[in-house]
Amino acid sequence: MDEKVCDIRIQVATRYVDEQSEPELDRYVFAYTITISNYGAVAAKLISRHWIITDANGKVQEVNGDGVVGEQPHLQPGEEFQYSSGAVLGTPVGSMQGMYRMETDDGVNFDAPIAAFTLAVPGLLH
């Protein structure tokens, strides 16, 4: 399939949620906001998600599920969808990466990769 036809781009913004975290119990809560933009020429629906969440100790959590935040957004060319969610780590630094399984209106499935991004308590990394 032509890359220009299916061009889904993902942007991520993260923040540390201090008020929900308990560092003394190795509980670090992070929020992230995802913006999914359809720069392609065809409409596509987000079918499922796959996340790989890794903490600083190398502990890996994999998360699979239908849609995101209970929705399966359908994006026309030029549209975007934004949502927020969170992750809990046992270390003050970690990373997430993954992919969204997408389906065009004519039934073609493709994966939209989500590049690795860092989750870190502010001031910890320079």
| Residue 106, phi then psi, degrees to nearest 5 | -95, 15
Structure token pair of residue 66: 């239908």
Domain that holds residue 94: 8-118
Q: How many domains does the chain contain in total?
A: 1
- Domain membership flag for residue 16: yes
- 55 assigned to some structural domain: yes
Query: What proportion of the chain, given as a percentage, has pLDDT over 90?
Result: 91
Question: Which CATH number is 103's domain given?
Answer: 2.60.40.1470
Q: Does residue 1 lie in a domain region?
A: no
Report pLDDT for 3. Answer: 53
Q: For residue 123, tell me if it sits in a domain.
A: no
Quick check: 55 and 6 in contact, CB under 8 A? no
Q: What is the pTM of this model?
A: 0.91
What are 47-97's pLDDT values in tens digits?
Answer: 999 999 999 999 999 999 999 999 999 999 999 999 999 999 999 999 999
Average pLDDT, the chain: 94
Give a yes or no: residue 45 inside a domain: yes
Burial of 105 from C-beta contacts in 10 A (0-12 / 13-18 / 19+): exposed
**83 domain residue, yes or no:** yes
- Give the integer Cα–Cα distance in Å for 35 and 14: 12
Q: How confident is the model at residue 123 (pLDDT cuts 50, 70, 90)?
A: confident
Burial (Cβ within 10 Å: 0-12, 13-18, ≥19) of residue 31: middle
Position 89 scores a pLDDT of 97
Assigned domain for 124 exists? no
> At 80, is the secondary structure helix, strand, or coil?
strand
Residue with tokens 């020429």: 41
- The answer on pLDDT for 19 being more than 80 is yes
Q: What is the pLDDT at residue 67?
A: 94
Max CA separation in the chain (angstroms): 51
Is residue 3 a part of any domain in this protein? no
